[in-house]
């Protein structure tokens, strides 16, 4: 499987980076994880011309993880897409998206392709795109009183598990999901990247990619990890230490 880091910025708009979006594909139907600002523009590049996204997982309801979605819908509409799109989102985000799309004159009944909304809950399942995924809750929103939920994901292709932390409040929820993982893509906006790399190594994770990079933060080299850039591609079948790919 290949994991494409389409957007690697934090929640602050960055002239050099798009907001969070990760594409997982292995030549067949693709899975998009989060759809931050810039994702539709990135996916319009010729390099992604053959990518057919069948499923979208939104890890939580923050703008930098969701804001690119309507423009992606518009692109699919313009392209004459008829194949359904599965959208897996936590809490009320799915119905909020339906309302948003309706306000943008893209109500589901006006689209040439069906929308299949699913609620994101903790657990393991296979997406409509054919990807085995486990979702687990992070503490990104812990104690804020909203009841909103944020999920980290473990992608489980046959050649080794890859963990995407999404946003965290601490490293604690991540720890339980690192054992046996081949790789980790971890956010660095809300947690200490050095500690995250150390934690990954303690759990035997050989490849660590640091993403969700705050505007103005100079990514200093950290041994055993690489900093993400937009367009980075990770081949999950590769093994060994992280390197710039
Ligand atoms: Zn967030």
Model confidence pLDDT, tens digit, residues 197-218: 999 999 999 999 999 999 998 8
The domain total for the chain is: 1
Strand partners, 5: 22, 232
| pLDDT surpasses 80 at 243 | no
d(C-alpha 134, C-alpha 94), whole Å:
19
User: What integer pLDDT is reported at residue 245 of this predicted model?
Assistant: 47
| pLDDT surpasses 60 at 244 | no
User: What integer pLDDT is reported at residue 240 of this predicted model?
Assistant: 57
State in Å: Cα 127 to ligand 1 middle. 23
Q: Give the angle subtended at the CA of 21 by the CAs of 17 and 26, to the nearest 5°.
A: 120
d(C-alpha 34, C-alpha 225), whole Å:
22
State in Å: Cα 191 to ligand 1 middle. 12
Domain annotation covers residue 243: no
State in Å: Cα 167 to ligand 1 middle. 5
Domain annotation covers residue 172: yes
Cα 219 from chain centre: 20
Domain annotation covers residue 22: yes
State in Å: Cα 91 to ligand 1 middle. 15
pLDDT in tens, 26-38: 988 999 999 999 9
Domain annotation covers residue 118: yes
Domain annotation covers residue 241: no
d(C-alpha 164, C-alpha 135), whole Å:
10
Residue for token digits 């710039």?
Answer: 244
State in Å: Cα 158 to ligand 1 middle. 29
> Average pLDDT, stretch 78-82?
94
State in Å: Cα 113 to ligand 1 middle. 29
Helices 69-78 and 93-103: angle between axes, nearest 10 degrees:
60
User: What integer pLDDT is reported at residue 237 of this predicted model?
Assistant: 86
Domain annotation covers residue 94: yes
pLDDT in tens, 172-188: 999 999 999 999 999 99
Q: What whole-number percentage of the chain has pLDDT above 70?
A: 97
State in Å: Cα 43 to ligand 1 middle. 22
| pLDDT surpasses 90 at 241 | no
**Mean pLDDT value across the chain:** 95
| pLDDT surpasses 60 at 112 | yes
Range of the domain at 73: 2-235
Domain CATH code at residue 92? 3.60.15.10
Domain annotation covers residue 155: yes
| pLDDT surpasses 50 at 85 | yes
Domain annotation covers residue 244: no
| pLDDT surpasses 90 at 192 | yes
d(C-alpha 242, C-alpha 43), whole Å:
25
State in Å: Cα 213 to ligand 1 middle. 12
pTM: predicted TM-score of the whole model, two decimal places = 0.96
């Amino acid at each position: 499987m290949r994991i494409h880091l389409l957007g690697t910025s934090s929640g602050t708009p960055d002239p050099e980076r798009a907001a969070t979006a990760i594409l997982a594909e292995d030549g067949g139907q693709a899975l998009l994880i989060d759809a931050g600002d810039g994702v539709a523009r990135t996916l319009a590049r010729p390099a992604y011309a053959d990518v057919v996204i069948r499923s979208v997982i939104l890890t939580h309801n923050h703008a930098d993880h969701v804001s690119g979605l309507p423009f992606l819908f518009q692109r699919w509409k313009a392209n004459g897409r008829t194949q359904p799109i599965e959208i897996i989102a936590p809490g009320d985000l799915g119905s909020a998206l339906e309302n948003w799309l309706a306000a943008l004159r893209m109500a589901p009944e006006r689209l040439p392709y069906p929308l299949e909304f699913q609620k994101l809950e903790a657990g393991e399942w296979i997406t409509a795109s054919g990807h085995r995924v486990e979702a687990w809750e992070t503490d990104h929103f812990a104690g804020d009183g909203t009841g909103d939920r944020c999920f980290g994901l473990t992608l489980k292709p046959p050649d080794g598990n890859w963990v995407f932390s999404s946003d965290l409040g601490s490293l604690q929820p991540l720890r339980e999901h690192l054992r046996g993982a081949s790789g980790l893509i971890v956010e660095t906006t809300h947690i200490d990247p050095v500690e995250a790399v150390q934690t990954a190594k303690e759990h035997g994770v050989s490849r660590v990619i640091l993403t969700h990079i705050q505007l103005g933060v100079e990514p200093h080299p950290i041994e055993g990890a690489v900093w993400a850039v937009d367009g980075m591609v990770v081949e999950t079948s590769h093994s060994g230490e992280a390197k710039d790919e």
